[in-house]
Structure 1
Amino acid sequence: MTHPPLVVVMGVSGSGKSTVGAALAQRLGVPFVDADDLHPAANIAKMSRGEALDDHDRHPWLETIGGWLEAHPGGGVVSCSALKRAYRDQLRHHVHRLEFLHLQGGRDVIARRQASRPGHFMPASLLTSQFATLEPLQPDEDGVVIDVDQSVDQIVQQYVDRHPAGVAPTLDKES
């Protein structure tokens, strides 16, 4: 049995989460939200000053994201860094049938992409801290890793090809 997909498109800043997430949601016919739009004002101000968020800053933000996922049992896609296992676990606490699409790329590729985003509140100076914080998906986490050094259409197609019915597999018996 399958359910509509609930997907978190994850990765460091500049990996293309928002663009890929919106394209994936459109392809799957489900709602999309950019988790950046769910940050409290204090988090945006802190990042705009070039200061990395800490776990205390992220906790309420992740709870808001988890609430959004819970509110979309018919499926949805969220773009969210989800850099640490603990953050992904916090989201899974809200929705057990959650899949992660990790957009992975080399530092040079990501830095180039980040440089092409003038005015974004996440300054390029925080890229080093993002890579230092990143904990790759573990074998027991439901998810896929796709290289970002290709077109958005190719990334979305690779994801969809892994789910021919266009839905994520059932991960729990309660959903």
Structure 2
Amino acid sequence: MGVSGSGKSTVGLLLAERLGVAFVDGDDLHPPANVAKMASGVPLTDEDRFPWLVTVGGALASSRSEGLVVACSALKRRYREIILAEAPSALFVELHAAPDLIVARMEARTGHFMPGALFDSQLRTLEPLAADEPGFRVDNTREPEKLVPEILSLLAPRNGR
């Protein structure tokens, strides 16, 4: 979880590969109306997000026995609660980095529908993962290949690996 440009897709894909499970980019689960809205620079409302979050939770719940890594912003505690209502065993890994680093990453990528103009909106919306929520926060200033082993070590006690 994290703001756009925090590395969710890159780290999530590597993590899924290391765990031997499927990966889903939560952006691919958005309905076309949400994608169009974001692409035009308009932030989503909670009403826009709620059905999408149920879909994300449903994807996690339906793959519980095999395992699944989903890259999803889940910026607010309430959003994470919606996902957990569908998939109670979900764990969140919040990827955190300084805003200037994230902006640089966003400017370097191509072909993504999320314009950089929405970044400030995401930062204002972000409620960092709290200590009583399932998961942990990691500093994502390193190369993804160096970050994934740290995440795996944090996950190990939770999945018996």
TM-score by length of 2: 0.95
Find out whether 1:129 has 2:121 as its counterpart: yes
- Residue of structure 2 equivalent to 1:73: 64
The equivalent of 1:88 in structure 2 is: 80
Matches within 5 A, 1:10-25: 10-25=1-16
Structure 2 counterpart of 1:100: 92
2:25 partner amino acid: D
Q: Which runs of 5+ in 2 are unaligned?
A: none
**1:41-61 Cα deviation digits (max 9, x unpaired):** 000000011000010000111
After the TM superposition, list the runs of 4 or more consecutive aligned residues in structure 1 that deviate by more than 3 angstroms.
none
Higher helix share: 2
* Residue 38 of structure 1: aligned partner: 29
Q: Percent identity?
A: 49
Distance in 1 (alpha carbons) for counterparts of 2:95 and 2:63: 23
For these two proteins, the number of residue pairs brought into alignment is: 159
Per-residue deviation at 1:162? 1.8
Q: Which sections of structure 1, spanning at least 5 residues, go unmatched?
A: 1-9, 170-175
Distance in 1 (CA, whole Å) between partners of 2:47 and 2:86 is 18
The farther-off stretch of 114-123 and 36-45 is 114-123
Q: What amino acid is the match of 1:155?
A: L
For 1:158, the aligned partner's letter is: E
Alignment partner of 2:144 out of 140, 152, 155: 152
2:45 is aligned with 1:51: no
Residue 109 of structure 2: aligned partner: 117
Letter paired with 2:36: A
Per-residue deviation, residues 137-170 of structure 1 (Å, max 9, x unmatched): 11110111111110111111101112346x536x
Q: Which amino acid aligns with 2:62?
A: A
Higher relative CO (CA 8 A, sep ≥ 6), structure 1 or 2? 1
Q: Please, what is the CA RMSD of the aligned residues?
A: 1.2
Question: 1:173 maps to what in 2?
Answer: none
The TM-score with structure 1 as length reference comes to: 0.87
